[in-house]
Amino acid sequence: MIDYEKIGLKAALCGHTAAEFHVAAQKNANATWVLLLAGSVTWYCAGWGWALIPCLLGAAAAALSVHTTLIATGIERWKR
């Protein structure tokens, strides 16, 4: 299991802020929606074989968004 509080502490000690991670999380969330929309259009035009590429990239962007949000939460806990 990943300990996001320790990662948050390390990030805070390196001078990063929770706001930076929230911005990154939002960018990844936006990328998720764009990639899933691209996957839908690709599926409609070319079928599932080609649509898997943007859909898998969208899933990876969603996972990054969750991870960066959890790191930001870890930083916020250490700042209290």
pLDDT tens-digit map of 31-68: 999 999 999 999 999 999 999 999 999 999 999 999 99
In a domain, 1, yes or no: no
In a domain, 2, yes or no: no
- Say which DSSP state 47 is in: -
Structural domain of 49? 18-79
Quote the tokens at residue 24: 């990154």
In a domain, 8, yes or no: no
Tell me, yes or no, if the pTM score tops 0.85. Answer: yes
In a domain, 12, yes or no: no
Handedness of CA 63, 4, 70, 18 (dihedral sign): negative
Phi-psi sector, 3: left (phi>0), alpha (psi -120 to 50), beta? beta
In a domain, 13, yes or no: no
In a domain, 75, yes or no: yes
Q: What is the count of structural domains for the chain?
A: 1
% helix, strand, coil for the chain, step of 5 = 90, 0, 10
pLDDT tens digits, 60-80 = 999 999 999 999 999 998 877
In a domain, 3, yes or no: no
